Amino acid sequence: MAAVRSRIAAACASAGRDPSSVTLIAVTKTYPVSDVRHLLSLGVTDFGENRDQEAAPKAAEVPEGTWHFIGQLQRNKARSVVTYASMVHSVDSPELAKALGERRQGTPLEVLIQVSLDDDPQRGGVPPGELTKVADAVLAMDSLRLRGLMAVAPLNDDPGVAFARLERYSRMFQLDHPDATVLSAGMSEDLVEAIACGATHVRIGSALLGKRPALR
Ligand SMILES: *Cc1c(COP(=O)(O)O)cnc(C)c1O
């Protein structure tokens, strides 16, 4: 925990940024809820999960956490996700935006559009040229708030180069959507590059909790 905080602080210092401008999201997927409670006791407030089946019970056990949904999301899971998520990072189609918006009740759901930094459909996200189409679908729903963009670095590309491209997309997007100031980028391996390129939310799993067992 201290090691991750100090990496974030160092990355902010070299980018000339205030550390309070970066929110640490602890990605607790595959880890038990006891780890969530431990992190909470250390002052972590924000948690990320990528599968509804796992996220829903954990969020129910730790309602004092702020829960972020960061994984690819099927429309039929929207009904469940809107009950516990504060922010969904992975909106990637007008249809998903509509499904979330129709089901959300109470405080608006904060939404990021996931942008693809390569052409690999497996990694999720919309091509930069389709951001407007998805943004319009989010804006059409009163129960959603368009907060910004999210991306995952491509596998075979320098994350610094990919995130520099992401930063340009974010700047351009904010010309049309001045409230969309969130940029969710950076994981354990590339948080420094992400912070250099303006990330406001970093999603950190293994550097906090250790290596996960092989992905299911
Ligand atoms: C698992 C995951 C993370 C965290 O990855 P680490 O390398 O463990 O820090 C971040 N973002 C997404 C979308 C993830 O699925």
Instruction: For residue range 17-75, list pLDDT tens digits in order.
Output: 999 999 999 999 999 999 999 999 999 999 999 999 999 999 999 999 999 999 999 99
Please check whether residue 214 lies inside any domain of the structure. Answer: no
State which residues form the domain around 64.
Answer: 2-209
Please check whether residue 95 lies inside any domain of the structure. Answer: yes
Pocket test for ligand 1, best of 23, 25, 27, 87 (most atoms within 8 A of CB): 27
The predicted model scores a pTM of: 0.96
Q: Domain count for the chain, please give it.
A: 1
Looking at residue 165, its pLDDT comes to 97
Residues with CB under 6 A from ligand 1: 27, 29, 50, 70-71, 152, 187-189, 203-207
Q: How far apart are CA 175 and CA 17, in angstroms?
A: 22
Q: How far apart are CA 94 and CA 131, in angstroms?
A: 10
Give distance in angstroms: CA of 31 to centre of ligand 1. Answer: 13
Please check whether residue 28 lies inside any domain of the structure. Answer: yes
Looking at residue 84, its pLDDT comes to 98
Question: The tokens of 205 are what?
Answer: 């799993």
Question: The tokens of 20 are what?
Answer: 């309070």
* Cβ(130)–Cβ(91) below 8 Å: no
Give distance in angstroms: CA of 205 to centre of ligand 1. Answer: 6
Looking at residue 130, its pLDDT comes to 95
Please check whether residue 167 lies inside any domain of the structure. Answer: yes
Q: Which residues of 73-89 are buried (b: 16+ CB within 10 A; e: fewer)?
A: beeebbebbbebbbbbb
Return the ligand 1 atom nearest residue 188 CA: 9
Pocket test for ligand 1, best of 44, 46, 50 (most atoms within 8 A of CB): 50
What CATH code is carried by the domain that includes residue 141?
A: 3.20.20.10
Q: What number of CA atoms fall less than 13 Å from residue 118's CA on the CB side?
A: 15
Based on the number of CB atoms within 10 Å of its own CB, is 66 exposed (0-12), middle (13-18) or buried (19 or more)?
Answer: middle
Could you tell me the end-to-end alpha-carbon distance of the chain, in angstroms, rounded to an integer? 26
Based on the number of CB atoms within 10 Å of its own CB, is 107 exposed (0-12), middle (13-18) or buried (19 or more)?
Answer: exposed
Please check whether residue 146 lies inside any domain of the structure. Answer: yes
Please check whether residue 215 lies inside any domain of the structure. Answer: no
Return the ligand 1 atom nearest residue 212 CA: 8
Please check whether residue 216 lies inside any domain of the structure. Answer: no
From atom 4 of ligand 1, which residue's Cα is the shortest distance away? 205
Q: Other CB atoms closer than 10 Å to residue 165's CB: what's the count?
A: 16
Question: The tokens of 37 are what?
Answer: 């409670």
Q: Is the pLDDT of residue 216 over 60?
A: no
pLDDT digit string, tens, across residues 88-137 = 999 999 999 999 999 999 999 999 999 999 877 777 899 999 999 999 99
Give distance in angstroms: CA of 207 to centre of ligand 1. Answer: 10
Closest CA to 7 of 215, 212, 202: 202
Please check whether residue 163 lies inside any domain of the structure. Answer: yes
